[in-house]
Structure 1
Amino acid sequence: MLSSLARFSVRHRWLVIALWLLAVLGAGLAARSSGGEFSNDLTLSDSDSQAAYDTLRERYPDMSGDGMQVVIHNDGDVTSPEVKKAVADSLTEVRGTDGVAAAQSPYGPGPAMVSEDGRTAMATVRFEERAKDVPAESVEAAQEAFAPVRDTGAQVEFGGAVLQTESGPSGSEAIGLAAAVLVLLVAFGSVFAMVVPLVTALFALVLGLSAVHLAAGLTTIGTSGPVVAAMIGLGVGIDYALLVVTRHREAMRAGHAPAESIPLALSTAGRSVLVAGATVIVAILSLYLIGIPFVSALGLASALTVAATLLAAVTLLPALLAVFGDRLDRFRVRRLRFDHGSGRASGWHRWTAHIQRHPWPYLLASTVTLVALALPLFSLRLGTADDGSAPEDTTQRRAYELVTDDFGPGWTGPLVVTADFGGDGSPTEVREQAAGLRTELEKTAGVAEVRPPQLDESGTTALYTVVPEGSPDEESTEELVHRLRDDVLPGAVEDTEGAEAHVGGSTATAIDLADRLGREMGWFMTFVVGLSFLLLTVEFRSLVVPLKAAVMNLLSVGAAYGVVVAVFQWGWGAGLLGAEPGPVESFAPIMLFAVLFGLSMDYEVFLLSRVREEYLRTGDTGGSVRDGIAATARVITAAASVMVVVFGSFQLNDQRVVNLFGFGLAVAIAIDATLVRLVLVPSVMAVLGRAAWWMPRPLQRLLPRLPGEAADKGRQPAGGTAGDTAGGTAGDTAGYERPAGAGTPGGANGTPGGQPPHRAPEDGRVPGKRP
């Protein structure tokens, strides 16, 4: 199937390129006209914070929407008549703004919100809807209404859940591309060969992001969604194209014309790419099983860009390769060297052979290193960073610092407690119960202040503003929320029939999100690992290789988690990345796991397909590992380098969650492509020997075959069940259909394609062929 698709793209190259141009332009125009906006939907069904919100919506409709803090600071006196009049005029204008439910003055009626030194005041604007549904125009209008306050010389800053910044291009994408250009030039040594993966990835990225914008009009996608999607799409787009282009160049060097080598590359490396990409998409979309809309939507955005890269890899990429033809290696920036198949031992051969002679020391050393890097994971604390982690030049950060300094950190994210005392008590009894609960709340450890309760119109429900001693992302605040729910509130309402109490607000919602994801993480990871195991079992017709891959992937992901915890939670070197220490974003580990397990499948399939290809041809377990690593190490290193620089460039983004995600991906890919693929894999394969390819014969017959898998053929390694079929790997067709005199797939000299063991020219040219 892939070969046929590649031949179509080669024959109709200009038509394919034109269709891609039309698709990109059409999708871009559609996204501009019909695309939605990005906002964070932290709705959690069956959670205590959602129950509190439902109570607010039913009993306090004016309080059910999300709010915006308006922080007014004056080095003189914020209670001066001039400032107070300007604030009053602004609040009057705000109350008439569409979408605003209420606006509370810092001067009363009710408890005043003026600092003890009289220099800072805090007003609250309450919107009719939750943050995800509040129009940006309503927020902007409410902010502009406070211009008269600024005219008095006072400083006005804004904070709160409604201030969600949409993530557009930050310059990090351009820097990542520039770094990728340098890596590809070093890897390929040719300008044209470097251009093809970049153009393919850019076309796919534009199409994928347009699809993300269109999807945002149908479902709520978080503000970090487009940046995370761009990060993953750009990285895997270049990565997948690089793998295919490398295999295409190998086939041309073996004597094939471009019209032959392109289908061969798609049927081998292209199949590896499809398996890896499909695993990424399925793993990411599996986030929907968790039932958290915010996390699922982020996964959808990433899956759309990965799908676009796969489509480009099997259609646009062959067409571009056909356009360049045998001129792909023109405009060289350095002389090319091809060690694999040249009849001499490469550095990768020598390295792998060295590890195979001493497998146990390298196996133990690499395992201990990975476990040591993973140790910080045991102190992982999930949460959502507050505005104290926002960029310093934002109004949210300035508002946070003013409130923290003059009112206390708890006021940056107060808790909302609702208590329904039932309908049987008299108004006097309800007021007494409400006052008693306030006293209990004030005595609770971790509570800094409790505002007087507000009773609803029916007089049966009380609403409290509970101010923690710590900031929203501190562990003490999380402990306070659990203490209120588990100990304080049940004791306060348990003697009243029909009574119930809940803890809500944005801070409690973030804690509920972290708790839910923490509970779901175990089974989700089990699902992804199981899915990867099944796919690799079908792909490699082995039980041991998939098990080995699962264990090694868990070790590498765990090591990446540990480094993320050390930097972003403990603060080790966080300043170098411009990040603030705090909890690890609650959805980051589960998203990272879904993406990384799929990406590691990419290298696993690409490497072990070549190893199995050599093993089925020669039956030599040690030699097949050496040849497989020698054939793939350079391209895997180049592909990983591209991903690392692309993901690392997103450290320049001003969103902490994007910094964390990019850093985690870069570290994980670096660990996987170096310590795992180049040390752990050869040492484990040396220890396993033929056992790596063991598969019970009954299960061998029951396993399905993936589309495009070759029929049984070829040489069966002596004594092994793994060789019962020569099909089932991405490399089964790698024994090229040779031109006359080019040799057979199983040449006697043991080199790919049966080439004679002559020393290849230094520039990699085949004698008699044009460069």
Structure 2
Amino acid sequence: MFAAIGRFTYAFRYTIIAVLFVSIAATGVWGFLGLGAKTKMNGLYDEASDSVASAQVTDKANGREMQPDILVLIKPAEGKKISDEDVMKAVAKTREDVLAKFATGDDAKLNPLNEKDPQESSLSYTMFAPGAPQANDGLYKKFTRTDADGGTWGFFTLPMKSADDTQRGKDWVEIQKPLMEILQSDANKATFEARVGGLVPVTSEVTEGVQKDQKKAEIIALPLVAIVLFFVYGGIVAAVLPMIIGVLTIGAAMAVASVMADFTDVNLFVGPIISLIGLGIAHDYGLFMVSRFREELDEGYDTPTAVRRTVMTAGRTVVMSSLLIVAALACLYISPLGLLTSMATGALLGVFIAALLSLVLLPAMLGVLGPRVFALSFHWFLTIFDKWNLPLIGGVIHWAAEKTGRAKTKANIEAGMWGKVTDAVMKRPKTAIVAVVTLLLAICIPIVGLQFGGISQTYLPPTNETRQTQDKFQELFPDNTGQPVKIVFTNASDEQIKQVLDEANKIPGFTHSNPADPNSARFSAATDAVSTAKGTSDKLVVRGQEVSVRVSNGSMQDPNDTKAVGEAVAALRSIKMDGADPSKGVGFLVGGMPVLQYDSIDSMISLLPNLMVLLVLVTTLAMFLAFGSLTLPIKAVLMSLLSLGSTLGFLTWMFVEGHGGDLFNFTGGPMMAPVLVLVIAVVFGLSTDYEVFVISRMIEERAGGATTNQAIRAGTANTGRIITAAAILLACVAAAFATSDLVMLKYVSFGLIFALLIDATVVRMVLVPAVMKLLGDDSWWAPVWMRKIQEAVGLGETSLPAETRDGRPLSSVKPASAAPGKAAPELVGAGAPASATRAPAAPDDGRLHPPSNLPDVRPARPTPVGPGPRRPGPPPGFSGRLELPPRPSAPTQRPPQDPRSYQQPVPGRGGPQGPGQAPGQPSRHRQGPPPGPHGAGPQGPRPSGPIGPGPSGPMPRQQRPGGPQGPQGGPQGPRQPYPPRPQGPGGPQGPRPQGPTGEGPRPQPGRRHSED
């Protein structure tokens, strides 16, 4: 299938590029511009919880006039007190002006206030309400405070009219500026200062911050990633390709999300998640694809073959990787919270579209570019600086060009840093395992202090004015947080209500109605929730039943303390009402903002075990179908859990304990549960993602015949650099989002950065080879019946076909197919023995050069039984130089090397060549070609001639003039010197044409030829 995709993308490359570029560019712009207006700030609560049901009952009963959505904090001017008559009148008039402007008419944004019971009904009806008993000491003590400096403060609240969270946010944005103009008018400034807070302004600040931070992060991420890609590839063209895939991924995902928003609710966090995950994953997949394509070109394949082989290898791995991440993200759809499912949708769209474009569009672009993918490299910059005679900058470019040289043999890579690290790890695997596991478990320790919380002002930066107002209010009025716990009674009698409230007032954690009296009630008397101002009856239809609704409020001492709220809510819900009858609607519900948040957190915590089980099962199944081993998926899951645990420990240490808060502009505190669950799924998916890349390369080596230890070493060393580069790319994107002012985005960003750096280095490059070294061949174990299922499904790794450089199958090439004067087809890839390495290209000029370490795969030639035929003497008139046939032309992918660095060819190499070999190249084995059936080579024993071992038998010796009994004495006379070595077009060290006997070029006399 992947071979067919590769051929298709190359054959229709121009059509694919035109169609996808035009369609994604058009729809992407539309989606990017229109998605923000369609998203909503909803999905924060569990719709099946009692707290949501109680909110629906009270909202339907009273039209939300009891909801303290907007908080106005009042500070009298210098030298004045809140109790001064002019201050009281000015505040009362200001509130009347606000209500007259925004609470009347068909387009009213605020609710008209219920004046039925200003003292008890709501925090909105304070002593500033018209007609309120302003001299009442109880009201004054309840709604005023004195700060440490002796100044007095007061407050009043305003309810929003809309019952929809998103609409309330939009209404607040519309009235915010004119409302502030009324509150902060010149007349009021002489009397008091007004500050605005409350749940709706806080939520609006979060919404605005999400959209602003997304744009800022994208502006930072793109150039940062471009710089990293340039240094990874050593060229501009290759670096631009993954960036194109990243930008198109964001555009396409935004367009799809915008269409989805027309049919279902989509949370506003979907946009940043698409940018963060989609951009990072697209760059990673682009890196894997482009790197493999360059590797295939370096081996000498033509462009169509290189494209096809890239899709068959890197493309297949990209697909398996994306399926694993998508499967992990899909597990989040079991969550009851719309916020979490929306974020999962954004991440899923980013991963899926990035994989699709990397599999279809990117190969098409590579097919158009071909070898031009190496253009505008460091070498090109080097010519500029050499021309300008800038030695310092030129020296830096020289160094960078050497480090990023595009052609490296497999031996070069395995001899590099990652090969040395792998060697060290495999020598002492137990030591490596103990060291890494101990380190990661130590990082996991802070998890014991992990705390969850709902949305609050603490998610805004400390410098935000709305947050400062809310912090000041909670400092001054801890018993009037504006977020009371509500007991909503339905069809309950006075006796039943009294019985429940008597027990509720005994529950600790709530503030007293009179702070000065420790014996005062913690809950207010239950009041009728039906608004008489709206002319409604005393009965309300709820869930098909006609009920009466009464509400009692109580304030938590710390509504952000999830543990305390949970204990209080559990105690309230455990109260047994006498005569309760759910079938008749007689009972009570516990709700309010603290309870809404607690129920959401509780649903997330109860979800985690099921989520982890589902993640493990899906990952294990997918990896088994991909690799055919049961050991590998189990090992991968355990290591992913270790990476995940260390990441959660780091996040707890940083964000709950508050380390680094001053540096990164956040306040430590409980973490938002849905965002943390998203981090768990993404980190787990990425961990298995990198495992797929490492294991895929190991299995590719195994398919070529390598032993387990050889496969571990080769797979780890060959993927070490590219996986580290991919992790750095995704970490750069995450770092751009870490500049966000919102702590929720910082959770995701810092979690990804830590997980990537730990997983791609310590875990994948140290722990994986160490564990597999100890497992040995058991790494590939699976029960026979399971392996049969895997083979039937057909998702196992496949080895590359044996083929020539122009893509022809090996079966179509015969050893004698090379015409005289032409080179035999070169065999590469799987056409060689398993240990064959690939042809290198010199890192200084990017050209391909004949290798010196490839096996001898010539067809077997019969070994002579007796002495070989005598070589005829020189013909009459011999002048010391033979007429030579034309030199075979070298493959176009392998221009001749500088004669000063070209290795002396081994004689007799005229048949079909092995993988990556040009005609006449030596074997890769230092001690000769691979052993044959008799232990002496592929053709059996090969006796030595007078100048060393011959290629396939004794080298015939030239007869002296005069025949067997020449006139010069002895049985054959004195030996004649060989004629001078012909000078071919390749220079004195270039390949030589075949001699008249067809046995290949002659060696220089008296010189032994190395098989190196």
Would the TM-score normalized by the shorter structure come out above 0.5? yes
Residue 43 of structure 2 contacts residue 337 of structure 2 at CA under 8 Å; is this kept in 1?
Answer: no
Q: What is the CA–CA distance in structure 1 between the aligned matches of 2:161 and 2:568, rounded to whole Å?
A: 27
2:507 to 419, 424, 444: 444
Deviations 1:725-755 (A, max 9, x none): xxx11x62276654532434263482444x4
Letter in 1 for 2:507: T
Shift of 1:532: 0.8
Bigger Cα displacement from structure 2, 456-465 vs 272-281: 456-465
Give SS of 1:26's match: helix
Shift of 1:232: 0.6
Residue 852 of structure 2 corresponds to none
2:99 to 79, 91, 99: 91
Residue 219 of structure 1 contacts residue 297 of structure 1 at CA under 8 Å; is this kept in 2?
Answer: no
Residue 608 of structure 1 corresponds to 695
Structure 2 matches for 1:671-750, cutoff 5 A? 671-703=758-790, 728-729=796-797, 732-733=799-800, 738-739=805-806, 740-745=825-830, 747-748=832-833, 750=835
Residue 476 of structure 1 corresponds to 564
Distance 1:249 1:697, change over 3 A: same
Residue 237 of structure 2 corresponds to 192
Structure 2 matches for 1:370-769, cutoff 5 A? 370-408=440-478, 411-420=481-490, 422=492, 425=493, 430=494, 434=497, 437-438=500-501, 440-448=503-511, 449=513, 450-457=523-530, 458=538, 460-473=548-561, 475-486=563-574, 490-491=575-576, 493-497=577-581, 499-703=586-790, 728-729=796-797, 732-733=799-800, 738-739=805-806, 740-745=825-830, 747-748=832-833, 750-753=835-838, 755=839, 760-762=842-844, 765-767=847-849, 769=893
- The higher-RCO structure (CA 8 Å, 6+ apart) is 1
Bigger Cα displacement from structure 2, 361-370 vs 407-416: 407-416
Shift of 1:663: 0.9
Structure 2 matches for 1:218-367, cutoff 5 A? 218-333=263-378, 334-335=401-402, 336-337=404-405, 338-342=407-411, 345-367=415-437
Q: What is the CA–CA distance in structure 1 between the aligned matches of 2:602 and 2:628, rounded to whole Å?
A: 39
Q: What is the CA–CA distance in structure 1 between the aligned matches of 2:58 and 2:786, rounded to whole Å?
A: 58
In our comparison, the structure showing a higher alpha carbon Rg is 2
Shift of 1:226: 1.2
Deviations 1:66-100 (A, max 9, x none): 83333344434553423321221112222124353
Q: What is the CA–CA distance in structure 2 between the aligned matches of 1:173 and 1:759, rounded to whole Å?
A: 37
Distance 1:420 1:186, change over 3 A: same
Equivalent pairs: percent with the same residue?
A: 24
Shift of 1:557: 0.8
Give SS of 1:366's match: helix
* 1:157 to 2:190 alignment: no
Deviations 1:233-259 (A, max 9, x none): 111010111111111111111111222
1:208 to 250, 253, 261: 253
Residue 3 of structure 1 corresponds to 3
Give SS of 2:111's match: strand
Give SS of 1:643's match: helix
Residue 706 of structure 2 contacts residue 834 of structure 2 at CA under 8 Å; is this kept in 1?
Answer: no
* 1:124 to 2:158 alignment: yes
Bigger Cα displacement from structure 2, 41-50 vs 435-444: 435-444
Give SS of 1:46's match: coil
Deviations 1:39-85 (A, max 9, x none): 13224233121221232144334458783333344434553423321
Bigger Cα displacement from structure 2, 695-704 vs 226-235: 695-704
Shift of 1:586: 0.6
Letter in 2 for 1:732: S
Q: What is the CA–CA distance in structure 1 between the aligned matches of 2:791 and 2:334, rounded to whole Å?
A: 26
Shift of 1:693: 0.5
Residue 65 of structure 1 contacts residue 127 of structure 1 at CA under 8 Å; is this kept in 2?
Answer: no
Q: What is the CA–CA distance in structure 1 between the aligned matches of 2:354 and 2:793, rounded to whole Å?
A: 21
Residue 559 of structure 2 contacts residue 594 of structure 2 at CA under 8 Å; is this kept in 1?
Answer: no
Give SS of 2:481's match: helix
Give SS of 2:38's match: coil
Q: What is the CA–CA distance in structure 1 between the aligned matches of 2:55 and 2:651, rounded to whole Å?
A: 33
Bigger Cα displacement from structure 2, 382-391 vs 259-268: 382-391
Shift of 1:626: 0.8
Q: What is the CA–CA distance in structure 2 between the aligned matches of 1:623 and 1:44, rounded to whole Å?
A: 52
Give SS of 2:156's match: strand
Residue 717 of structure 1 corresponds to none
Q: What is the CA–CA distance in structure 1 between the aligned matches of 2:162 and 2:636, rounded to whole Å?
A: 51
Q: What is the CA–CA distance in structure 1 between the aligned matches of 2:309 and 2:529, rounded to whole Å?
A: 73
Letter in 2 for 1:456: A
TM-score when scaled to structure 1?
0.89
Aligned length: 737
Letter in 1 for 2:800: T
Q: What is the CA–CA distance in structure 1 between the aligned matches of 2:177 and 2:843, rounded to whole Å?
A: 70
Letter in 1 for 2:23: A
TM-score when scaled to structure 2?
0.69
Give SS of 1:302's match: helix
Q: What is the CA–CA distance in structure 2 between the aligned matches of 1:64 and 1:156, rounded to whole Å?
A: 21
Deviations 1:364-413 (A, max 9, x none): 11111121111222332222241133123434313312312321276053
Residue 22 of structure 2 corresponds to 22
Deviations 1:612-632 (A, max 9, x none): 111222241111111111211
Bigger Cα displacement from structure 2, 432-441 vs 373-382: 432-441
Distance 1:534 1:763, change over 3 A: farther
Residue 715 of structure 1 corresponds to none
Root-mean-square deviation (CA, aligned residues, Å) is 2.7
Letter in 2 for 1:341: K
Q: What is the CA–CA distance in structure 2 between the aligned matches of 1:533 and 1:102, rounded to whole Å?
A: 58
Going by fraction, where is helix more abundant, 1 or 2?
1
Residue 802 of structure 2 contacts residue 827 of structure 2 at CA under 8 Å; is this kept in 1?
Answer: no
Structure 2 matches for 1:47-66, cutoff 5 A? 47-63=49-65
Give SS of 2:145's match: coil
Residue 168 of structure 1 corresponds to 211
Deviations 1:587-623 (A, max 9, x none): 1332122222222232111111110111222241111
Give SS of 1:445's match: coil
Q: What is the CA–CA distance in structure 2 between the aligned matches of 1:734 and 1:559, rounded to whole Å?
A: 42
Q: What is the CA–CA distance in structure 2 between the aligned matches of 1:82 and 1:133, rounded to whole Å?
A: 31
Q: What is the CA–CA distance in structure 2 between the aligned matches of 1:213 and 1:466, rounded to whole Å?
A: 42
Residue 413 of structure 1 contacts residue 507 of structure 1 at CA under 8 Å; is this kept in 2?
Answer: yes
Shift of 1:264: 1.1
